[in-house]
Structure 1
């Protein structure tokens, strides 16, 4: 018997539970080719699952959304002495907050869009939105992933209608960048391949992301070497500026003049074989099984060095 086992955490209680179940099952299948694996379906955010043993488990979490990515699960694991793959509590908490992330990226001279932040129920006026950001905007929750709650508006009437859905939590409004959307994976602090995302609707929302056939993915993205390298360099700076660890996926928009605007950092991105992080890794020659093995390696080293 090996001296450790990989504990895959999946499920959770957030709006992204179904996405997490898919990621976790795919990751567990890949990891089981190299390691002894135990799978834990997380049903509670109050405590770590029964049977998770810090003395013999190294955790690979595929929990998306709140609890999984906001630093809460990471703090529970840190307090229990559990070694785990991916970002620590502080960087997870930071990057789960899109506003805090943008402020950190701006300080590191990574380009981001202007924005307007407000609390649900304390809605800005349509005039205030338009005067600052224009009439074509993107409205999204500050602390959700998988495009949950994402809304697009291109007229004052649509802005007004969208704002009425912002009842709880913190919200972020940004000018809509018309152009190309790309994403790049980071593995062991190095940027991998740039992937272009081409939703047929022109909007990479929840439906386009998770409905088969509604989005085309180009890996590698059809960009000049210079532009691709600029994206990869800035993504690496963003990763380091937020003190991320092991791996992440970073999203970016490119406008018609090839100006870049970085959107957010995903610390526990989707991990099915067809997900964006594996696409980015495939550009660098990694198949899915090899990628998942690489993702957990730093945590195993930390466990063995304890």
Structure 2
């Protein structure tokens, strides 16, 4: 058996994906025969490197790597891969759909609002973000007409969401094989967990486990697992939330292919649970190896 780590892709999260892929490769090479494929447009080349018994470790973020497209191809070719299947990925990457599911399960979600981008007057602040991107790409908090024009230009051609701004503490809940790991609180220096805060050293601090009170912790863990299972996720995923100033949890989105560098949120949560990065990667591989 060999492990084929795939990363790169064509989405705006390509750079992050490569970093995840390299970290995963360094880990799996300690125990397995492994190789890495840096993908671009033609992901079907994976088939040329795959033999029965191999496992593809999907380190792609966003785009065809997280939308269900590559998962559907793997399923049709009987290629064994890590993470959720095509249908779960199609739902999870669509923030509008995943929010509807979370809402039905009893978790509050930020309300979508109607905004005329050409109007001079609008209620602010509010959020503009793409419906199907991660890593805070295209995410803007709007306080002025100028900011709105910048956000619309950045997201040109994308299906965007206009959403109420919920002020509060940013939290993330990681799930590994139906086990909910310790919740992480994200504390960005700027007050906004945007792309720069995520990937610039020293711009963000983290508290693990988050000190949010036992009732809130239990509620978030229970509901996050319900979202994970209702969508049909497999293996692992990460759910992002806001705890409002009124101490009300809000669901934001679910990521079926979370960052897997040694400093990413999912590994931080696993580490707090006593699971080293190498052990985490080994467990993800093991989930497929047992199938």
In the other structure, the counterpart of 2:129 is: 140
* Structure 1, 87-96 or 217-226: larger mean CA deviation: 217-226
1:26-53: CA deviation from partner (whole Å, max 9, x where unpaired): 0111112222212111122452325322
Find the partner of 1:32 among 4, 29, 32: 29
In the other structure, the counterpart of 2:6 is: 9
Find the partner of 2:70 among 66, 73, 92: 73
Find the partner of 2:95 among 94, 98, 105: 98
* Structure 1, 253-262 or 148-157: larger mean CA deviation: 148-157
List gaps (5 residues or longer) in structure 2: none
Give the Å deviation of 1:288: 0.6
Give the Å deviation of 1:106: 1.5
Find the partner of 2:268 among 269, 272, 279: 279
Structure 1 segments of 4+ aligned residues over 6 angstroms from their partners: none
Work out whether residues 113 and 164 of structure 2, in 8 Å CA contact, stay in contact via their aligned partners in 1: no
1:194-230: CA deviation from partner (whole Å, max 9, x where unpaired): 0000111111111111111111111111222222222
Over 3 Å counting, the alpha-carbon distance change for 1:276 and 1:126 in structure 2 is farther
For the pair 1:22 / 2:22, whether they are aligned, the reply is: no
Distance 1:74 1:7 in 2: 15
In the other structure, the counterpart of 2:159 is: 170
What pairs with 1:219-234 in structure 2 (closer than 5 Å)?
219-234=208-223
In the other structure, the counterpart of 1:57 is: 54
Give the Å deviation of 1:64: 0.7
Report SS of the residue matched to 2:157.
coil
Find the partner of 1:298 among 259, 283, 287: 287
Distance 1:177 1:125 in 2: 24
List gaps (5 residues or longer) in structure 1: none
Give the Å deviation of 1:108: 2.1
Give the Å deviation of 1:124: 5.0
Report SS of the residue matched to 1:193.
coil
Work out whether residues 194 and 219 of structure 1, in 8 Å CA contact, stay in contact via their aligned partners in 2: yes
Report SS of the residue matched to 1:115.
coil
Find the partner of 1:267 among 253, 256, 267: 256
Report SS of the residue matched to 1:296.
helix
Distance 1:155 1:111 in 2: 27
Give the structure-2-normalised TM-score: 0.94
Report SS of the residue matched to 1:67.
helix
Work out whether residues 108 and 241 of structure 1, in 8 Å CA contact, stay in contact via their aligned partners in 2: no
Work out whether residues 127 and 162 of structure 2, in 8 Å CA contact, stay in contact via their aligned partners in 1: yes
Report SS of the residue matched to 2:25.
helix
Please provide the CA RMSD for this pair: 1.9
Distance 1:217 1:188 in 2: 24
Work out whether residues 126 and 160 of structure 1, in 8 Å CA contact, stay in contact via their aligned partners in 2: no
1:43-94: CA deviation from partner (whole Å, max 9, x where unpaired): 2245232532241311111011101100111011111100111000001111
Distance 1:100 1:269 in 2: 19
Distance 1:72 1:137 in 2: 31
Find the partner of 1:196 among 154, 179, 185: 185
Work out whether residues 241 and 251 of structure 2, in 8 Å CA contact, stay in contact via their aligned partners in 1: yes
